[in-house]
Structure 1
Amino acid sequence: MPLARRSLMDITAEPFGWRRVHSDTDKVDALLTEQTETAYREAAGHTALATAKNTDVLAVQPGVVDARGRVLADVLYLEGLLAGVRNKGLAPELIKRLEDTVDHGHELTVLLADTIRTTAAAHADGR
């Protein structure tokens, strides 16, 4: 959420790992919409910047390595959430959704690792 739209309570609580929860699906939908809009707004210049910076295959590698690291850290965090949800016997649908998310996240880290390897292999082949 943009800093201007975050409450003082949210800003103060964040360093402690506290987050606001929403029990109303309309509020959840609004939060997800705002999150998506913010991400797309911040990503608007990525294509032009990437086109200018990525002049060869190795130039792509650091960004993909960074992205894989963030994805892996988030997947492991979600895996911990899943373990807690299972241990507490929470809603089976929540467990299923988290399992699917964690599985997909691990698959994404494998694809990103393959992409990183491809940058090195393509460089070695002179492409």
Structure 2
Amino acid sequence: MPLSTLIESAAALVGWRRAYTDTTEVDGLLTEQTETVRRQAANHAALATAKNGDALDVQPGVLDVRGRVLADVLYLEGVLVGARNRDLEPELIERLADVVDHGHELTELLADTVRTTAAVNAADH
């Protein structure tokens, strides 16, 4: 592992993150994140098909995802409040507000999905 990656990994463990000032670097980082997650999820569809035999099998995973998304959205809501309080750039505030709104919508969709797993199960029995 390159020294820079090792240093960034160690720093991340204590909550420090590097800020990028160049959009090319940011685009590269975003591409790397996407590729990493896609590699990790390559076999997920086959595993999920084998594991998820009915609606209740789906429920715990969706509930876990909702919890993680909700925690992240609430974190971003704090970031948004801080950006507003510091009078940061309006475009940044607008983008953060959009993300927070979308995140809340996503948590509602996930909650509805969890409710559906229980309703489908109740209707089947």
The answer to whether 1:40 aligns with 2:38 is: yes
Report the counterpart of residue 96 of structure 2 in structure 1.
98
Percent same amino acid among aligned pairs? 65
Unaligned runs of 5+ in 1: none
Report the counterpart of residue 66 of structure 2 in structure 1.
68
- Could you tell me how far apart the structure 2 residues matched to 1:116 and 1:105 are? 16
Q: Secondary structure at the match of 1:7?
A: helix
The answer to whether 1:56 aligns with 2:54 is: yes
- The structural deviation recorded for 1:113 is 0.1
More displaced, 14-23 or 49-58? 14-23
- Could you tell me how far apart the structure 2 residues matched to 1:86 and 1:29 are? 25
Q: Secondary structure at the match of 2:124?
A: coil
CA offsets, 1:9-55, max 9 Å, x none?
A: 21221122110111000000000000011111111111000000001
- The structural deviation recorded for 1:65 is 0.4
Q: Aligned AA for 1:28?
A: V
TM-score, length-normalised on structure 1?
Answer: 0.94
* Coordinate RMSD, CA, aligned: 1.3
Report the counterpart of residue 18 of structure 1 in structure 2.
16
CA offsets, 1:79-115, max 9 Å, x none?
A: 0100111110000000000000000000000000000
Q: Secondary structure at the match of 2:109?
A: helix
- Find the partner of 2:83 among 72, 82, 85: 85
TM-score, length-normalised on structure 2?
Answer: 0.95
